[in-house]
A and B are shown apart, each in its own frame.
Chain A
Amino acid sequence: MLSVQNLQVEVDGKLILKGLSLEVKAGEVHAIMGPNGSGKSTLCQVLAGRDGYRITQGAVRYLGQDLLQMAPELRAREGLMLAFQYPVEIPGVKNVYLLKAAYNAVREHRGEPELDTFEFLTLVREKIKLMKMDESFLHRGVNEGFSGGEKKRNEILQALILEPKLAILDETDSGLDIDALKVVAQGVNGLRSRERALVLVTHYQRLLNYIEPDFVHVLSGGRIVRSGDKSLALELEERGYEGVAEAAA
């Protein structure tokens, strides 16, 4: 589904990703773990199509297409979704309208009919219960005045409704207390399916206590230095990033 080959990315003239390769297939759950500054967020932003990153080498193919040539909204319509580490507050744009517009844009792209407001709200109410969010959130501005945990829940709510083919979750566990972490993890587990791939990008291992990955990758210094199964996450927990990175070198 996603094939990243030798990706090199510069930000403000500084090389951040230094030849990163990654293969993700439908049905798989990948965890990319790395310390601060290893390039985790850069990878997420580049995959979602943010401006300001210079690709100096490498290629990314998504569902057989050249991902780097696609506008961000086209990536989203083709089923790629990034759950943001820091979701943006957009006062004045109601949460529910954004959800509906995004949902219908994806459906239209797939050649499916739009849902009417009633059908859509029925769907949203079902999903919002899963995320243990109050319905009043729907009528507030996008992320406006949400706590850190509420913003993360809102991202997963969007994923549950938009049903992406590839969901990339950027530090979705950061800033969550244990109860919120369980709710978010439950939501993410609800996304698991044979047709869908998940990429969890995280600093800490604790999210993986609730979401079991098929593959774990260690990102360090702009490239993936080790890959393994879920036991690699436990090794990281014991030896730390430096220990694992040294062992790899």
Chain B
Amino acid sequence: MNGAAETSMQPYLERFAALEGKHAAEPPWLTAQRREALARFSGDGFPDPRAEEWRYTNVRPITRQAFRAAEELTPRLEPESLVAARIGDLVLTDLVFVNGRFRPELSSPRCQQPGIRVRSLAAILAEEPDSLRDLLGSEVSYANNPFAALNSAFLSDGAVVDLAADTELQHPVRLLLVSTGEAAPVVCHPRVLIRLGRHAKAAVLEHFLGLPGARNFCNLVTEVRLEAGARLEHYRLQEEAEQGFLVASVHARVQRDARYLSHNVNLGGRLVRQDLNVRLNQPGASAELNGLLLAAGRQHVDNHTRIHHAAPHTTSQESYKSVLDGHGRGVFKGRVLVERDAQKIEAHQTSGNLLLSDTAEVDTKPELEIYADDVVCSHGATVGQLDEASLFYLRSRAIDAETARSLLIFAFADEVISRMGLAPVRARLEEIIVGRLPDSETLKGFV
């Protein structure tokens, strides 16, 4: 560890010491978990740019800043400023967080469905912390991820979506994580816990919304456990502000015949790193991972996915796409690990990347590690410009060149969007993407 890294860790270590008194009031298992995580963080330090898992993403813009703790202030926020977060006519159970803190006055009334617990983490930690004992921290891994350890050390709020066996959410739950423009940027460490009992069904959206001027750092960890036969459709809509920072990881365990669907859409942020770790833990478990990334200007967005086939007869399907313009930079690293006993598994991965400028850049890297011999695995990656033959075809049908280009970009991105189950989410994303393309007025006639 070098000297600079030590300095950047120092504010976190000091703050942890200052919180010791507050943490002492918590159950001992939680205090122990925090201390262990902090020890891990202070041992590992922030990621070294030479570390394999971080070589494409330098986190110095985050680590060199001394962010204030988000808990120190409660920004005023009028409900009207959340109009931008509306998703058509989709009825949602909304939990709104402002800089990581739950704000009941901006949120939907509490979910009253029997067998279903949808609440802020802070409320549960205050009222019944021991109910989280076998949930909080059960899936998270700190390997190559000191940010996750940092989250465990400092977590104070977030959300719990906990469904008993055979229940189903009436409306999708949305965790709306709003980041506000503050004179001094803040850091928050929200933790989301999603547990679906046997054959339970849910759609959960994590929606990041950066308000104008937001320069905060959100360090999120989401733990997911799907019991046998459960099904989760997990949306992540990242619309951070131009100068926003986000590091977020998902740690999911998928049990027998359960299905995990992930739609991870990145539209904003200055520097974003996402890790999706999915463990297909028992036979019949399956996962579908869809990713879409649009970056321009000086945006840098890094997606690392790891799918772990730990049991036979498990399947995974992964498709990540990026559209990069300006000086936008994208990273996709998709690791698939198949254990020796995980026979008869199927794993497919594709990565498609569109570079719209000479200065845009993408690093895409599949990494297949297969120890079983009876498997069906495939992967493919493309990096390129718009297809010349398609452009010409459209122009030969009287479509002008600019509209033709926009149309092909839209179609490229829409392939990911079209796999989403919630139509209003699809419509919102299509509208955003069309709005970003040149000649969007003409384009609206096409979609």
Q: Do A and B bind each other?
A: yes
- Is B394 a contact of A106 with CB atoms below 8 Å? no
Interface size class of A (residues with CB under 8 A): 20 to 34
- Is A102 a contact of B412 with CB atoms below 8 Å? no
Partner of A92, one of B389, B400, B404, B415: B415
The reply on A37 being an interface residue by CB < 8 A is no
The reply on B393 being an interface residue by CB < 8 A is yes
A52 nearest CB neighbor, chain B only = B388
Instruction: Report the bound CA distance from A106 to B414 in whole Å.
Output: 27
Instruction: Report the bound CA distance from A50 to B396 in whole Å.
Output: 9
- Is A93 a contact of B411 with CB atoms below 8 Å? yes
- Known interface pairs A88-B390, A101-B445; A93-B397 also in contact (CB < 8 Å): no
- Is A73 a contact of B401 with CB atoms below 8 Å? yes
Q: How far is the CB of A69 from chain B (nearest CB, A)?
A: 15
A105 nearest CB neighbor, chain B only = B398
Residues on A with C-beta less than 8 A from B388 are 51
Partner of A73, one of B395, B410, B414, B447: B395
- Is A72 a contact of B446 with CB atoms below 8 Å? no
- Is B393 a contact of A90 with CB atoms below 8 Å? yes
- Is A101 a contact of B399 with CB atoms below 8 Å? yes
- Is A73 a contact of B398 with CB atoms below 8 Å? yes
Residues on A with C-beta less than 8 A from B415 are 91-92
- Is B400 a contact of A97 with CB atoms below 8 Å? no
Stretch at the interface among A4-12, A75-83, A185-193: A75-83
Q: How far is the CB of B202 from chain A (nearest CB, A)?
A: 29
Instruction: Report the bound CA distance from A94 to B442 in whole Å.
Output: 15
The reply on A71 being an interface residue by CB < 8 A is yes
- Is A90 a contact of B392 with CB atoms below 8 Å? no
- Is A101 a contact of B446 with CB atoms below 8 Å? yes
Residues on A with C-beta less than 8 A from B408 are 90, 93
The dominant DSSP class at the B interface is helix
- Is A92 a contact of B398 with CB atoms below 8 Å? no
Q: How far is the CB of B387 from chain A (nearest CB, A)?
A: 8
Instruction: Report the bound CA distance from A82 to B412 in whole Å.
Output: 25
Could you give, for residues 82-115 of chain A, a 1 whenever the CB lies within 8 Å of some chain B CB and a 0 otherwise?
Answer: 1010011011111001101110111001000000
A-B contact pairs, 14 of them (CB 8 A): A49-B392, A49-B396, A51-B392, A71-B395, A71-B401, A72-B395, A73-B404, A88-B393, A90-B390, A90-B408, A91-B411, A102-B397, A102-B398, A109-B398
18 further contact pairs, Cβ within 8 A, besides A97-B446, A105-B398: A49-B396, A51-B392, A73-B399, A81-B396, A84-B393, A84-B396, A88-B390, A88-B392, A90-B390, A91-B415, A92-B418, A93-B394, A98-B399, A101-B397, A101-B398, A101-B442, A104-B445, A142-B393
User: Which B positions have Cβ atoms within 8 angstroms of A?
Assistant: 387-390, 392-401, 403-404, 407-408, 410-412, 414-415, 418, 442, 445-447
User: Which A positions have Cβ atoms within 8 angstroms of B?
Assistant: 48-51, 71-73, 75-77, 81-82, 84, 87-88, 90-94, 97-98, 100-102, 104-106, 109, 141-142, 158, 162
Nearest 5 interchain pairs by C-beta: A92-B411, A76-B398, A105-B398, A72-B395, A102-B397
